[in-house]
Amino acid sequence: MAAILPAAAWSLKGWPTARWNALAEALKTRFGVRSISVAKPGGRPADKAAARELSPEIVRADKTSLREAMALIQRCRLFIGPDSSLLHLASCMGVESIGLYGPTSPGKFYPYFHKENTVTTDRKLDCMPCYPRFENFPCGKEPHRLYGVCMESLSVEKVLAAAEGRLQAVGAA
């Protein structure tokens, strides 16, 4: 089982739901690994899109407490998510963790025990990294935008390659 986090507290850190669905399908088809979403739905447009569009093949554990989510993550072979508290918790609990990075810097905010497991876009944008309190925040100024341009350009294949490497490390691939 792989725990995924298809929502982030800061929506620009999120990855499009269609990509999560494609990743979950590939994990199941190629490695026999099912995905469980530990994302809690929020009121933001990206959260609503994720709740509405998430594949029925992905097990939803979206009504869990933090303690319950941690217990689920602990039972998984892999955690995949954007730079978030659950990514860092999974890493600290010793679960193989892959962080998806765009708006924040993986050099500063990497999963503590899995620094080498960060996936970033190959696209070089002048606005990366960005932070809401600073001027360099163009995506956040577009009210219709659900995800950051940097996260939208992160490919399923790149994340899947990182997942394959981590699954091989734990003997699941």
Tens of pLDDT, residue by residue over 144-162, are 667 777 888 889 999 999 9
Q: Identify the structural domains of the chain with CATH numbers, from first to last.
A: 2-169 (3.40.50.2000)
As a whole number, mean pLDDT of residues 52-77 equals: 91
Q: Which residue has the higher pLDDT, 5 or 44?
A: 5
pTM: 0.87
Residue 30 has pLDDT above 70, yes or no: yes
Residue 116 pLDDT class (50, 70, 90 cuts): confident
pLDDT of 113 reads 60
- How many C-beta atoms lie closer than 10 Å to residue 148's C-beta? 29
pLDDT of 141 reads 60
Residue 14 pLDDT class (50, 70, 90 cuts): confident
